[in-house]
Amino acid sequence: MSVSSSKQRKRVFSGVQPSGSLTIGNYVGALQQWTREQHHYESFFCVVDLHAITVPYDPAELRAKTREVAALYLACGIDPAISTVFVQSHVPAHSELTWLLNCVTPLGWLNRMTQFKDKAARQQADSVATGLLDYPVLMAADILLYQTDVVPVGGDQRQHLELTRDIAQRFNNLFGETFTVPEAMIPPSGARIKGLDDPLAKMSKSLTESEYHAVYLLDPPDRASKKIMRAVTDSGRDIRFSDDPEKAGVNNLLEIYEAFTGETREAIEAHFAQARGYGDLKKQVAEVVNAALQPIQQRYRELTSDGHFIDELLAQGAQRASLVAKATFARARENMGFLMPPD
Ligand code: ATP
Ligand code: LTN
């Protein structure tokens, strides 16, 4: 595959933080879309390690999860022959462009971000890192460096995408046409899978201690089933898609079923009209989830059995990504009035 700094096709860019083990929420919101869209766009899939250090973390865990997340991209179907897979910190232009964008981003725009407010509220006020507030500017740099057209993400990232567009437009107005203004691509259903233990909260890979919150992509089938069988529902029997917060648990299970089977909502409701209560629904959700996870886990084991394969792949990915990122960064720097550095 050839990658050049000028665009032959429309581009996709997206990333996941190595801040924990990937969940079925990450799969539905991100990876499922990526594996489909890589055939239509020139694609860059990044393990965003610089984002994962914006909250307290353990260095050994970061190292292990960075490799694990990269291997899971491939295990879920990202094809390195057609897509570029790399680690954010391997391409220094991500950090460098962030500084330039910081200087065109009004502080008020960052103070409004709900993810910042949520994550900051979980920590002691005097230990919240400046990087947590600045997180969306780093994300904008990720996306804009690749002249990205489309960003496939879950519904929780909509606000960050709007901010990226605002930053790109402001930069282009101030300094001349420099960045493509990207669009978000959010799946119509499953945009926000909820916690199994708390169906009003987003399923997250790092924000809970509860064993029954999330199904992880590497969970063995009995563990995944146990979590799904214990999912919080309500005291009724009606198995239908619904916006009623009382029915959020059943709705979440149905959305998971929908995302993993690709069936229509009408077909799913008709299918479960005969079910004997929520136990039956849960059993069938567990079956479709495990059927999808098994081949992913098998490929993951194969990919990680050779200790160097993933590192080599990431080294190649960083080279390809750097070609594009360097060209955009040079243009941004020049348009902002910096002297080109001596060779
Ligand atoms: P963390 O809990 O560490 O903040 P996270 O689980 O929310 O992380 P991210 O790395 O922030 O995961 O997100 C990676 C991608 O997965 C993003 O596109 C995000 O929108 C998507 N995603 C994360 N959780 C969900 C979810 N529950 N439902 C749908 N998409 C999700
Ligand atoms: N903030 C994103 C992760 C992320 C990302 C990106 C997603 C960082 N940089 C660039 C798409 C494009 C999240 O999902 N929490």
The pLDDT assigned to 208 comes to: 75
Looking at the CA of residue 119, tell me the nearest atom of ligand 1: 4
φ and ψ at 305, to 5 degrees? -70, -30
To test the pocket of ligand 1, the residue of 19, 26, 78, 116 to mutate (highest count of ligand atoms within 8 Å of its CB) is 26
- Asked if residues 138 and 115 have their Cβ atoms less than 8 Å apart, the reply is no
pLDDT in tens, 42-100: 999 999 999 999 999 999 999 999 999 999 999 999 999 999 999 999 999 999 999 99
pLDDT in tens, 101-141: 999 999 999 999 999 999 999 999 888 999 999 999 999 99
Determine the distance separating the centroid of ligand 1 and the alpha carbon of 154, expressed in angstroms. Answer: 7
pLDDT in tens, 178-205: 999 999 999 887 678 999 999 999 999 9
Give residues (CB < 6 A) around ligand 1: 16-17, 19-20, 23, 25-26, 28-30, 153-154, 156-157, 191-193, 202-207
The ligand minimizing its distance to the Cα of 119 is 1
| Whether CATH 3.40.50.620 fits 11-187+306-336 | yes
The ligand minimizing its distance to the Cα of 135 is 2
**What is the pLDDT averaged over residues 211-215?**
95
Taking alpha carbons only, the member of 22, 45, 37 closest to residue 293 is 22
pLDDT tops 70 at residue 3 = no
- 88 CB contacts (<8 Å, ≥6 apart)? 15, 46, 47, 48, 49, 50, 51, 94, 142
Q: pLDDT exceeding 90 applies to what percent of the chain? A: 88
Domains of the chain, residue spans? 11-187+306-336, 221-301
Looking at the CA of residue 142, tell me the nearest atom of ligand 2: 10
The pLDDT assigned to 7 comes to: 82
Q: Which amino acids are annotated catalytic?
A: 119, 202, 205
Determine the distance separating the centroid of ligand 1 and the alpha carbon of 114, expressed in angstroms. Answer: 14
Residue 318 CB: number of other CB atoms within 10 A?
A: 19
Range 162-176 burial, b when 16+ CB lie within 10 A, else e: ebbbebbeebeeebe
Determine the distance separating the centroid of ligand 2 and the alpha carbon of 14, expressed in angstroms. Answer: 6
Question: What amino acid is encoded at 253 in this protein?
Answer: L
From the centroid of its chain, how far is CA 170?
Answer: 25
Atom 11 in ligand 2: residue holding the nearest Cα: 14
The ligand minimizing its distance to the Cα of 182 is 2
CATH code, 221-301: 1.10.240.10
First-residue to last-residue Cα distance in the chain? 29
The pLDDT assigned to 2 comes to: 55
CA 20 to CA 116: how far, in whole Å?
18
To test the pocket of ligand 2, the residue of 45, 48, 116, 158 to mutate (highest count of ligand atoms within 8 Å of its CB) is 48
